[in-house]
Amino acid sequence: MSASARRLIAATLTAGALVSVVTLPASAADHARPERPKVKISDVQYNSPGRDDRSNRSLNREWVEITNPGRRSVNLDGWTLKDEDGRTYTFDHYRLEGRSTVRIHTGHGRDTDSDLYQDRRHYVWDNRSDTATLRNDHGRFIDDESWGHHRHGGGHHR
């Protein structure tokens, strides 16, 4: 056998060994990985109905809804909801039950299982255009919802 043929076989064997070393733990991790939560932003009322007078009532009629369509509850503790300007709401010790929706209001209020309050004195979701972005407690992107100029075809989505 020539030296070059021996080198080729050696290289092939090394590559094969590398592949099996790399793929085995990866597929094992795939099996071990828990079902990824399918939590999503399901609705946004970015323009509070009526005149925007900055009253707490009006602020609370501006909201984002987040839905968990899965069967299992998802712990949202440390998850964030952010607008385009980086204004951030952080979920604090909140668990979203399976097959349920929570409404996050902009104004002040007492948190319940179905309604959370950002306790702001100003609107956060722009009437013209904005983006609501949901990230988990590791900062990983979960979902976003855009309206206004971001939307293909323009105009509002409702």
Residues that bind Ca ion (CB under 5 A): 47-48, 52, 83, 126, 130
Question: Between residues 72 and 128, which has the closer beta carbon with respect to Ca ion?
Answer: 128
Pairing of the two strands 141-147 and 74-75? unpaired
* Alpha carbon distances (Å) from 93 to 3, 74, 126, 144, 147: 66, 11, 27, 22, 29
Question: Between residues 48 and 136, which has the closer beta carbon with respect to Ca ion?
Answer: 48
* Alpha carbon distances (Å) from 121 to 19, 58, 80, 85, 104: 57, 10, 19, 16, 14
The least CB distance from residue 82 to Ca ion, in Å, is: 9
Backbone angles phi, psi at 78, to 5 degrees: 85, -5
Question: Between residues 93 and 158, which has the closer beta carbon with respect to Ca ion?
Answer: 158
Q: Which residue is nearest to Ca ion (CB)?
A: 83
The least CB distance from residue 103 to Ca ion, in Å, is: 17
The least CB distance from residue 73 to Ca ion, in Å, is: 30
Question: Between residues 46 and 117, which has the closer beta carbon with respect to Ca ion?
Answer: 46
Question: Between residues 73 and 90, which has the closer beta carbon with respect to Ca ion?
Answer: 90
72's CB contacts (< 8 A; 6+ apart) are 35, 37, 98
The least CB distance from residue 47 to Ca ion, in Å, is: 5
The least CB distance from residue 123 to Ca ion, in Å, is: 8
Within 10 angstroms of residue 17's Cβ, the number of other Cβ atoms is 10
